[in-house]
Chains A and B, each alone.
Chain A
Amino acid sequence: MHIRGGVVTLPMIIAKRAGRTLLLLLFAAGGTILLVRFAPGFFSDSREMDAKYAQAAQAEIQAENSQQQSVIQIAIREVKSWLSGDFGQSRQYHVPVAQLIGARVRISAVLLAQGIFRGWLLAICAALPISALRKGAVLWRLPFTILLAVPTAAMATACILADRGGPVLVLSLIIAAREFNFLRSLLEGAWRSPHLLQGRAQGMSPRALVTLHILPNVAPQLCALATLSIVTALGALVPIEVIFTVPGVGQLAWSAVMNRDLPVLVAVSLLMACVVGFAGMLSTRTVNLEAA
């Protein structure tokens, strides 16, 4: 790969992407701090409305909140907490944020991995035959269109009401619905390519066409799409974990925003931005490799 006469090596590309991702992370963290600090509700604390706190306790809470007013102070405190590795103290649970997140990351990661894998399996299994259809494809696409029109929260609630499925099923269905259309159009293009027509004319079986020609040809795009599924799955994670009461990062994020727990909020934002940045880096890299 050559740019402006110089050779751009793989480590240089990786370093450039990593630098950009790091900058994005810093801005995401800074943005979160600014958003929280200048939000009209920053000075509201749900504990102040709770009758169980005595007047003295409420005065203490107010004093504690008033100490955290300056953006610089908040930023310095946050950076110090990152450097110490504990990411600060949670305002609602009174434990180090790293400890809170560490216990939940595994649960969310397993849920994400299972949801993405099953969603993709479902989308590929449906898109492969449907993309080869010449008539009636609209009818077969209908279930995915309907799934796309159902909000995550509604789907999760419906699962609970029916007492069927769980968080993995809902996440899989969301991923499948989102990725099905991309996959179908990608595969439709692949089916129409001249070498496939030639193969069909020569009597190759559909199975051989799919395994030997279609899947290897669309593999780079599939990889790029798969990494972007992580972003879709992360977005769906919060309502799914809250509704199914899964003790993961999504539920922690929801609880943090409900209780204005700034240290947890910033740490979760960083974690999510990190995952999204990494997914973006991977998808760009896959597309670059394909172009090369």
Chain B
Amino acid sequence: MSATVSERRIAVAAHRKNSLHRQRQWALYGSYAALAVFVFMFLVPPFYTLMTSLKSSAEISAQTGSPWLVKHPTLENFWYLITYPNFQRYYMNSVIVTILTVSVSMVISVLAAFSLSRMGFWGSQLLSTGVFLTYLVPPSLLFIPLFQIIGSLGLINNFWCLVLLYPTLAVPFCTWIMIGYFSSIPKELDEAALIDGAGYLQMLWKIFIPVAMPGIIAATIFAFTVSWGAFLYPLAYLYTSNQMVLTVGIISDLIRGDVFQWGKIMAACLLASLPPIVIYAFLMDYYVAGLTAGATKG
């Protein structure tokens, strides 16, 4: 009798185990299928860009064979761009604007986030919310009033205006990330530093910045992405090629009237994508850790 009962129990347990195993398997298949769709969607455009950039203008316009494959691969588009002075100028302008934007944004964000999250002055909560709300204002609403300001500063058609403008996009979100990150650092750490003899700036420099490095890297990547990829402001405020940055330089220089130099445009896009790819590849782990660390205190 007891043998029968125990056999039945084993059978029930085995059935449960099997059904759990099957459920897990289906969940796994589902995940892979969804991931495959995403990977396909996100990799097809760069693949097409790469294929087109390796084609000569003749092959692109021939319209024979599959557009997804290259019959006679060539690097002539890349070589043209690398040796093209305007493209070099766009690249250099983008690099200068981005380095300065990231530096300015990070200095402001780190200082703002530290004071808002740690110094607990009157109105700091309200100010934190206010900082985030400014991020919600779309740039398209701002570029006409900003045109007035930039104009009054005499910076229209001068890429330095971007160093002033981009931080307005980057600082609120970077500050928000940093507030989250700084808030996750135990309060006792600053108290220990205060007792050890540190002032607020020493505490920030020697304790908070090293401890919050993943958050700082995440915010830096965000500021970099904003600055490197921004299109609207340079389109609105820059109109000569010696002042342009990559995003507007590529389309204004490589699209002449109704002639699209597709091979060169695609090659330029790939060359312009190189810095973000390199930065993301090296810092992705920090980026994810930095974005999620502030979410939960622990």
A binds B: no
